[in-house]
Structure 1
Amino acid sequence: MSAGTGAVEAKLAELGLTLPSVVPPLAAYQSAVRSGVYVYTSGQLPMVEGKLPVTGKVGGEVTPEEAKDLARICALNALAAVKSVAGDLDRIARVVKVVGFVASAHDFTGQPAVINGASELLGEVLGEKGVHARSAVGVMVLPLDAPVEVEVQVELVQD
């Protein structure tokens, strides 16, 4: 296989998914940075071709099921950000931590189920390497009125 189109991207294709282009930063930050063997992504919104498919609060304008699908998109965008600094997704030794933020209606308490969308995608794509620690946090509002935002920390195979 050619560089950058290894086993992980083959698995994405098998799942009917395509790695998107890296979402450009909305402010003064990088989409991902590498420090030693770790890559840290910035919070990834569920952008599709430069736009949010849905806006609003989960448990209000957005159903938990829609939000779970949006969390999958966030995880896919995070993988694109990781690839932008790692060069190849096959260099991922493991996903260490996922932090998910859910813009929640005042009485919504299903944040873990929403962020399962990101966790499940990482598991489907990376297998055991996708098993991670996680936080799922309810917040009042997210940038651009996004319903979900996900950040990921991965460990790379040593050079």
Structure 2
Amino acid sequence: MSKLDDRIAELGLTIPDVARPVAAYIPAVVSGNLVFTSGQLPMVAGTLAATGKVGATVSPEDARGYAATCALNALAAAKSAIGSLDRITRVVKVVGFVASDPSFTGQPGVINGASELLGEIFGDLGVHARSAVGVAVLPLDSPVEVELILEFA
């Protein structure tokens, strides 16, 4: 096991298999010393963990957990592209999308689920720039979607 795999196991988590794309794209692309992941949904064992709008049918607390699941799926995509998470030298940026009820304005708190998980895994290397965007609908009616930009050596 790698150092980061050990850290992830200490947190009681595992890096899942790479989520199968739901359209015409690949899970991650390497350019120079950066890996860009495609947007990841909260897939668990090939099934979407939840559907619906945050602030309506999905609670912000549950959505926060789904954002963490998205981040784990994004790490799986990155690992498939670069071979080992131990190669990551910095989490550069997190972009999170929240399918929101029109009155819901807590998108940053939802995407904190992904940001805080990355901080727990990577420590100071997990501090990143971020966008948290509310949208009307996401693929498959997912409540959240997260993509990462990671630097690696």
State yes or no: 1:6 paired with 2:12. no
Moved more, 46-55 or 57-66: 46-55
State yes or no: 1:101 paired with 2:100. no
Q: Secondary structure at the match of 2:101?
A: coil
TM-score (norm 2): 0.99
Q: Which residue is equivalent to 2:122?
A: 126
Q: Which residue is equivalent to 1:76?
A: 72
Q: Secondary structure at the match of 2:22?
A: coil
Which structure 1 residue ranges, 5 or more long, are not aligned? none
State yes or no: 1:34 paired with 2:30. yes
State yes or no: 1:54 paired with 2:41. no
Deviation at 1:54, TM superposition (A): 1.1
- Name the aligned partner's letter for residue 57 of structure 2: E
Alpha-carbon separation, structure 2, partners of 1:101 and 1:124: 21
Alpha-carbon separation, structure 2, partners of 1:129 and 1:81: 19
- Name the aligned partner's letter for residue 87 of structure 2: R
Deviation at 1:116, TM superposition (A): 0.1
- Name the aligned partner's letter for residue 94 of structure 2: V
Q: Which residue is equivalent to 2:60?
A: 64
Alpha-carbon separation, structure 1, partners of 2:61 and 2:39: 20
TM-score (norm 1): 0.95
State yes or no: 1:146 paired with 2:149. no
Q: Which runs of 4+ in 1 moved over 4 A?
A: none
Q: What is the count of residue pairs matched by the alignment?
A: 153
Q: Which residue is equivalent to 1:85?
A: 81
Alpha-carbon separation, structure 2, partners of 1:64 and 1:84: 30
- Name the aligned partner's letter for residue 95 of structure 2: V
Alpha-carbon separation, structure 1, partners of 2:83 and 2:124: 21
The Cα offsets for residues 102-128 of structure 1, whole Å up to 9 and x where unpaired, read as 000000000000000000000000111
Q: Which residue is equivalent to 2:41?
A: 45
Deviation at 1:139, TM superposition (A): 0.0
- Name the aligned partner's letter for residue 110 of structure 1: G
- Name the aligned partner's letter for residue 133 of structure 2: V
Alpha-carbon separation, structure 1, partners of 2:46 and 2:20: 8
For the aligned residue pairs, the C-alpha RMSD in angstroms reads 0.5
Q: Secondary structure at the match of 2:48?
A: coil
Deviation at 1:52, TM superposition (A): 1.2
- Name the aligned partner's letter for residue 29 of structure 1: Y
